[in-house]
């Protein structure tokens, strides 16, 4: 039984990069690396500047999540904002470890071909999606009541369970297409649309300051996503890098810098505006 379990969990490593030109030998030609010696062992750190940005995002997001918990009082909405941001922050730290900082050590060390993903990234995907749904729960407690609240809570729970099961199956079989960042984003789109609809309609009807700052949150998130997609579609990462002769600033850096500004906005503009639902007057 133990061998079967270990075999299933090790199957994830069988997914290789679609870029057949990316090998352990040329890994550091495709992206910046830093070699450090720890206890007489050489460790290759990947994308040092990108690591800084994603770890900063993880620490800031976790910290602001903890801040929400400290000021929550009796507000369930602040509790769920705190849970959401802490999960998001932990996910960012896991992603930064496997996609950036220790990517070579996790995916390539001791292998003839690099693995495409890792269990660090699988857990990140699950935490990220649960975080998004926890954010929906937070908005639901702030902006809805009764049947609508129950429907939103049910959707958040069902979406989290189904997605996590899908990712787990995708990792154990494995099924590469299920484990992509794009799939995770598309699964998150209904949550984004629901929050924009809820806050937009409430602001139109009642002019609530809380709904206005939350609309600012979703606008910044959309702007960050657009900038990420544009940067990626234009291939600016490779053009700037110029095979090691230029500057490294990837599409992920665009995403992470945008999210750093986004979460700072949440900490400054949103945190103290959040309250549980009350009947608008």
pLDDT at 279 over 80: no
Residues of the chain above pLDDT 90, percent: 84
List, in order of start, the domains of the chain with CATH numbers.
42-273 (1.20.1070)
What gap in Å lies between CA 123 and CA 210, rounded to an integer?
A: 32
Which residue shows structure tokens 């949550």? 191
Token duo for residue 85: 């941001």
pLDDT tens digits, residue range 125-134?
999 999 999 9
Through-space distance between the first and last CA atoms of the chain, rounded to whole angstroms:
62
Q: How confident is the model at residue 195 (pLDDT cuts 50, 70, 90)?
A: very high
Cis amide linkage into residue 174, ω under 30° from 0: yes
Among residues 31, 83, 43, 79, which one has the least CA distance to residue 61? Answer: 83
Among all chains, which residue has been given the structure tokens 């996590």? 164
| Four-point Cα dihedral 79, 81, 86, 88, nearest 10 | 150
Polymer length of the chain: 281
Query: Is-contact 108 24, C-beta < 8 A?
Result: yes
Residue 146 in this model has a pLDDT that exceeds 80: yes
CB 179 within 8 A of CB 122: yes
Average pLDDT score over residue span 181-205: 97
Q: What is the pLDDT of residue 112?
A: 84
Condensed to tens digits (0 to 9), the pLDDT of residues 233-249 reads 999 999 999 888 899 99
Confidence of residue 18 (pLDDT cuts 50, 70, 90): low
Mode of pairing for the β-strands spanning 33-38 and 41-46: antiparallel
Decide: 9 and 119 in contact? Cβ < 8 Å. yes
* Cα–Cα distance measured from residue 240 to residue 234, given in angstroms and rounded to the nearest whole number: 11
Residue range 150-160: average pLDDT?
98
3-12, 24-33, 111-120, 162-171 — which is least confidently predicted?
3-12
**What is the pLDDT, as a whole number, of residue 67?**
99
Q: What is the pLDDT of residues 35-68, one digit of tens each?
A: 999 888 899 999 999 999 999 999 999 999 999 9
> Per-residue confidence at 281, pLDDT binned at 50, 70, 90?
low
Query: What is the rounded average pLDDT for all residues in the chain?
Result: 93
Question: Which residues neighbour 29 within 8 Å (Cβ) at sequence distance 6 or greater?
Answer: 243, 244
Helix (H), strand (E), coil (C) string for 105-149: HHHCCCCCCCECCCHHHHHHHHHHHHHHHHHHHHHHHHHCCHHHH
Read off the pLDDT of each residue in 172-177 and give the average, rounded to a whole number: 92
The average pLDDT across 257-278 equals 98
Q: What are phi and psi of 20, to 5 degrees?
A: -70, -15
pTM: 0.94
Contact 116, 99 (CB under 8 A): no
> How many Å separate Cα 75 from the centre of its chain?
25
Q: What is the mean pLDDT of residues 135-163?
A: 98
């Amino acid at each position: 039984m133990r061998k079967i379990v270990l075999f299933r969990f090790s199957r994830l490593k069988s997914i290789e990069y679609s870029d057949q030109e990316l090998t352990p030998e040329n890994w550091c030609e495709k992206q910046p690396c830093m070699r450090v010696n720890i206890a007489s062992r050489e460790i290759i750190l990947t994308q040092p500047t990108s690591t800084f940005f994603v770890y900063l995002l993880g620490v800031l997001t976790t910290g602001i999540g903890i801040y929400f918990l400290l000021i929550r009082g009796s507000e369930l909405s602040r509790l769920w904002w705190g849970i959401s941001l802490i999960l998001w922050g932990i996910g960012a730290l896991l992603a930064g470890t496997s996609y950036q900082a220790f990517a070579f050590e996790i995916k390539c060390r001791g292998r003839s071909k690099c693995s495409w993903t890792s269990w660090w990234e699988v857990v990140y995907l699950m935490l990220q999606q649960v975080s998004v749904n926890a954010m929906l729960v937070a908005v639901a407690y702030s902006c809805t009541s009764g049947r609508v609240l129950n429907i939103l809570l049910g959707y958040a729970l069902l979406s989290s369970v189904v997605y996590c099961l899908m990712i787990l199956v995708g990792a154990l079989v494995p099924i590469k297409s299920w484990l992509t960042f794009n799939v995770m984003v598309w699964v998150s789109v209904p949550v984004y649309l629901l929050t924009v609809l809820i806050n937009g309609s409430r602001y139109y009807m009642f002019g609530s300051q809380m709904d206005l700052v939350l609309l600012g949150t979703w606008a910044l998130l959309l702007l960050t996503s657009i900038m990420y997609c544009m940067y990626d579609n234009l291939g600016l990462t490779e053009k700037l890098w110029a095979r090691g002769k230029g500057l490294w600033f990837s599409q992920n850096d665009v995403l992470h810098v945008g999210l750093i500004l986004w979460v700072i906005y949440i900490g400054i503009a949103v945190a103290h505006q959040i309250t549980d639902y009350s009947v608008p007057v």
